[in-house]
Amino acid sequence: MKSMFRSLRTLLVVVAALATASCGFHLRGSYNLPDEIQKLSVTSFDRYGKLTREMKTQLRLHDIDVIPPAQSIANLHLKSESYGENTLSLYQNSRVAEKQFAYTVSYSVTVPEKGSYNFSTSLSRTYLDNPLTALAKSVEEEMLAQEMRVEATKQIMRQLARMTAHIENFERKEAEEKALRELYQGVESDKSAISVETRFDGKDDERKGKPLSSFTTGGEEAPQ
C-alpha cells in the first residue's frame, strides 16, 4: 500500500513539473547568469513605464540585485519599445477581421571592462477583431500588449543568461590583441640600429668629405 502511494505521489510530481514547463513557467533563480551581472542597474527611455517596471520585476524574481547605476556595476539600458499592427484578413464588408500586432524592444547591456552589447527582441500576436465587441476591443489590445511586454522581458532574461559567451569572446579578443602588441614591441626592441650618413663629394675643399647629415633608425640624429 505504501509503495502504491509513493508511486502515485511521484506521478503527481511529474505531472506538475510537465504542466509548469508547458506553460512557460521558470523556477526562481533558474537562469544561470554570469557573475558580472548578478548585480545590475537598470536605466530606461521611460523610467517609470510599464516595460521598465516589468523588467525590474523579472530581475528580482530571478534573484538579481537591482541597484542604482554606478561605474563599476553592469547596466541594462532599455533603449526603446515600438508597436505595430498589420491587417491579415477582412470581412466581406471590407471591415478588418484579423490583425497582427508586432512588438519590439531595443536594449543594451554594458559590463564594466568587458564591453557594451546591443540587442533587440521582437514578438507578434494575432487576434480577431469582432465589430460587435468594440467596447472590449481596447481592453483586449491592452491585455495583448501587456502579454507581449512580459514575454519580451523573459526573452531579455534569456539573453542575459547567454552573456557568458559574449564576455568570453570579448576577453579572448582582448588577450589576442595584447599578445600581438607585446609581440610587435618585442620585434621593434630587437632591431639593430642603422645609421645613414650623407657626405659631400663636390669641388668645395672645405666641405669635401664632411658629413652633411646623419640619421639612425632609433630616431636620434647623430652628432655632426
The structural domains of the chain, ordered by start, are: 31-80+106-118+134-182 (3.30.160.150)
For residue 2, the model assigns a pLDDT of 47
Q: Is residue 64 over pLDDT 80? A: yes
Q: Is residue 84 over pLDDT 70? A: yes
Give phi and psi for 134, each to the nearest 5: -60, -35
Please state, in angstroms and rounded to a whole number, the distance separating the CA atoms of residues 212 and 17. 90
**Beta carbons of 40 and 74 less than 8 angstroms apart:** yes
Ordered strands of the 39-44 beta sheet: 65-66, 39-44, 74-90, 96-111, 115-128
Strand partners for 122: 104
Instruction: Give the global pTM.
Output: 0.65
- Per-residue pLDDT of 68-79, as tens digits, reads 999 999 999 999
- Per-residue pLDDT of 109-162, as tens digits, reads 999 999 999 999 999 988 877 766 666 677 888 888 999 999 999 999 999 999
For residue 222, the model assigns a pLDDT of 47
Please state, in angstroms and rounded to a whole number, the distance separating the CA atoms of residues 153 and 64. 14
For residue 126, the model assigns a pLDDT of 87
